Amino acid sequence: MSRIGKLPIKVPANVDVNLNELDIIVKGKFGTLQNTIPEVLQVKQDEDKLIVTVKNETRTNRALHGLYRTLINNMVIGVSEQFQLTLNLQGVGYRAAVQSNSIVLNLGYSHPVKMTIPDGISVEVVQNTTINLQACDKEQLGLFAAKIRTWRPPEPYKGKGILYKDEVVNRKAGKSGKK
């Protein structure tokens, strides 16, 4: 049995969980999330806890057990607290700005990069070089942060690029001169 899958999920008082046959809907103060559970798994609600169980033990079912327990836990945390990611722009002239429902990035290209912000994600730019992202859906938040980051991934020679908060770039020495 999955070690993670065995753990119960604590449901806060301000979160409502609706269990249909294979659908789970979680509602909280920051939004509503929905997911479909495979037939080999079963979710039971016991007062303020959710328990995920597996019907028959196979290797793939055990993997799904831990995965869906974590996904449901992320849904509960997301609608009650929200997830937050911080991106830092490091480089001369790199800056960001929010314009209506899009984010505009100046990353050293000959043109500004304009990306539309998906529904459910809030973007805040602090001091032109720090981007704070918030959302209740952890998967969507990480995907949008990764899309922003693909425009300028961190490079090891000068340390420039778009970095996650507290990310450390291992620097390389570069070329050494002729001897």
Model pLDDT for residues 105-115, shown as the tens digit of each residue: 999 999 999 99
Nearest partner of 166 among 80, 88, 55, 77, judged by Cα: 88
Q: Check residue 175 and give its pLDDT.
A: 83
**What's the whole-model pTM score?**
0.89
Domain ranges in the chain with CATH number 3.90.930.12? 3-80, 83-164
Burial of 140 (0-12, 13-18, 19+ CB in 10 A): middle
Does residue 84 surpass a pLDDT of 80? yes
pLDDT confidence of residue 179: 59
Amino acid at position 143, single letter: L
Per-residue pLDDT at 1: 59
The CATH topology of domain 3-80 is: Outer Surface Protein A; domain 3 (3.90.930)
For 3-24, how does the pLDDT look when each residue is reduced to its tens digit (9 = 90+)?
888 899 999 999 999 998 889 9
* 83-164 is a CATH 3.30.70.380 domain: no
